[in-house]
Chains A and B, each alone.
Chain A
Amino acid sequence: MNLILLAAVWGIVMMLSGLFIKKKENAVQLAFLGSLILAGGCFADLHEYAFIHSDFKGLLAYDKFSHLFLFIISIALILYIWLTGKEVVKVGNHPSEYFALLFFVMSGAGLVTLFNNLLILFLGIEILSIPLFILTGSDKRNLKSNEAALKYFLMGAFSTGILLLGIAFIYGATGSFQLVNYMMQGTEAAAIYHHIGLALILIALSFKVSAVPFHFWTPDVYDGAPTPFTSFMASIVKLAAFVGFAQLILNGFSSDSARIQSVVALLIAATLIIGNVAAVYQQSVKRMLAYSSIAQAGFMLMAVFASNDMARQGLLLYAAVYCLANIGIFAVLTKMKDYTYEGFNGLAAKNPFIAFCLTVFLMSLAGIPLTGGFFAKYFLLAAVVKVGGYLWLVITAVVFAAISVYYYFKVIQAMYFKPASDNSGLITAVGSSFKVGLLLAALLILLLGIFPYQLLLDVLTVY
């Protein structure tokens, strides 16, 4: 709850600060302060200290899982502003407004995580995506950015329409928007409405989390958007959408989960196959990361598929590891001269430290042991095994995780084993605070890989 309030208030503060802030760097500092306050608020929430002790007549529901998730994304926001804040300022002439929109997105992420009513889910998803349409198009003179913004907007509005139709049908079946009531109703007509509604909501949310076959907008939007905002989209926003999806199935439609599972299993398999295979063929690292985010979506969908406690823990771990790794990689990417694989040639010789951190992030995305990514994938696979009867899904996932190693290691290979050329390497030398931020992210990933229980999952049982 604290996060929703603080993010909304700080968004307004940032917006108004645009009037007074003369130096662009000050906007970054103010946003960084805001992200610290947000993390403080989330920490207070974890200890059940909130500004408002109310669930607003059942519109919101609080549990440890969602509070822990919000804490994770607020930490991710701190790192995001730390590492990428300077690049956000360089996108255009309105730095305070960009940060304001980022904070509004955080507020939407809070709503999507804590909702207990379909109205709040709808509002949360809209608050999550409308500011992103603007941020995607914020590089106004760049045609690629324009195109990405229009595509994202049209697809976003279209999927919102589908989501709303689904919600309307669910309402027709049950007469309520509250999540707890969605048991099957008696009459035949109500059962039909229920099925139509559920199918439409599944389609709409698959659009939002870019699961195959509803993924086609993702590579274009991620590629066209200014890189600092792609980083935000691919990490925090994507995870918020996933947690919303998982919460919806777990809290609202658990009685349907057997019916949903067979469909979601097909979605997962298609997402893993198309995402990983397409990523292999990309020339640009930014576009490869877009496809890799589709492939990772396949793994995260397993939390929706299994919807048991194991899956929730896995999703939390995945959220932490995936956010850190993606924010780190994109932070380095924003400083590269060239976004192709050749751009990374010989980076290890010039900037050994950055190359090392990047290696940790990439290995974590690929799921190599000792990094957090391994345990994140392990937990989700274990959750699927626990459900039983879907061994083929686990095997597919493992095979395609192995394929993903190929394109992640292509970057590592370029960094360590290829000679540098003129248009490879970083644009300018990076400051020490950037290095400290990268080191922090890399250390957190390694620690999560060695002590996943102690750092994250014990917290669930302690509270």
Chain B
Amino acid sequence: MPIHYYIVLALALFSIGVTGVLTRRNAIIIFMCVELMLNAVNLLLVAFSKMHAAKLAAFDMAGNVGAEAQIFVFFIMVVAAAEVSVGLAIIVMMYRNIHSVDVNFLNRLKH
């Protein structure tokens, strides 16, 4: 399959994520949308990794080209997991204080 399909799919997922972050008001849904953005990037990285490998395979010199992008994906997953643990803790902390996860409550700092 041409690389364009993967790029379009990844960008579509990413855009859904961005739209969600900008329009939704529920902290947990915003959070899910951020995860969607990160996973769209994972998809794109894997697609590019295969693309570069396939380019060089034509000359029979692929070796482990593209492996670093796949390793990058693992790093993104690990960091995303760390972010989830911190983010959910922050959301729970907020829920304890105001019994809501609606980000419209967040206007105390506006003067």
Interface residues of A (CB under 8 A from B): 119, 122-123, 126, 130, 133-134, 137, 140-141, 143-144, 146-151, 153-154, 157-158, 160-162, 164-165, 167-169, 171-172, 175-177, 219-220, 223-224, 282-284, 287
Contact = CB atoms under 8 A, between A and B. Distances in A.
Contacts of A153: 83, 86-87, 90
A165 B44 contact: yes
A130 B97 contact: no
Which size class do B's interface residues fall under? 35 or more
A168 B41 contact: yes
A161 B93 contact: no
Contacts of A282: 111
30 contacts: A119-B68, A119-B72, A122-B75, A122-B76, A123-B75, A123-B79, A130-B79, A133-B90, A137-B90, A140-B93, A143-B98, A144-B108, A146-B93, A148-B109, A154-B103, A157-B87, A161-B14, A161-B34, A164-B41, A165-B44, A169-B44, A171-B48, A171-B49, A172-B7, A175-B48, A175-B65, A175-B66, A176-B68, A219-B109, A284-B111
Contacts of A160: 38, 79, 83
B79 A133 contact: no
Interface string B35-74: 0011011001100110110000000000001101101100
A130 B75 contact: no
A162 B40 CA distance: 11
Interface in B16-50: 17-18, 21, 27, 30-31, 34, 37-38, 40-41, 44-45, 48-49
B79 A126 contact: yes
Interface of B: 7, 10, 14, 17-18, 21, 27, 30-31, 34, 37-38, 40-41, 44-45, 48-49, 51-52, 65-66, 68-69, 71-72, 75-76, 79, 82-83, 86-87, 89-91, 93-94, 97-98, 103, 105-106, 108-111
Given A168-B41, A172-B51, A143 B108 contact: yes
| Chain A to chain B: the 4 pairs with minimum beta-carbon distance, closest first | A161-B37, A164-B41, A172-B48, A220-B109
A134 B93 CA distance: 11
B3 to A, nearest CB: 8
A243 to B, nearest CB: 21
A164 B38 contact: yes
A150 B44 contact: no
Contacts, number: 124
Nearest to A284: B111
B97 A168 contact: no
Contacts of B71: 119
A91 B65 CA distance: 50
Given A144-B109, A149-B90, A161 B17 contact: yes
The dominant DSSP class at the B interface is helix
A169 B3 CA distance: 12
Given A140-B93, A161-B34, A172-B51, A150 B106 contact: yes
Nearest to B45: A168
Nearest to A134: B86
A140 B72 CA distance: 34
Contact of B94 (A146, A171, A223, A284): A146
A164 B35 CA distance: 12
A141 B40 contact: no
Nearest to A145: B93
A150 B111 contact: no
A223 B111 CA distance: 11
B93 A119 contact: no
A146 B98 CA distance: 10
B45 A161 contact: no
B90 A171 contact: no
A122 B21 CA distance: 21
Contacts of A164: 37-38, 41, 76
Contacts of A171: 45, 48-49, 69, 72
B52 A175 contact: yes
Nearest to A158: B21
Contacts of A168: 10, 41, 44-45, 48
Nearest to A125: B79
Given A161-B14, A164-B76, A283-B111, A150 B91 contact: yes
Given A164-B41, A175-B48, 15 more contacts: A133-B87, A141-B97, A143-B98, A146-B98, A149-B93, A150-B90, A153-B83, A153-B87, A154-B21, A154-B30, A161-B17, A167-B41, A171-B49, A177-B68, A220-B110
A130 B86 contact: yes
Contacts of A122: 72, 75-76, 79
A236 B25 CA distance: 33
Contacts of A147: 94, 105-106, 108-109
B69 to A, nearest CB: 6
A50 to B, nearest CB: 24
A148 B110 CA distance: 11
A161 B109 contact: no
A165 B14 contact: yes
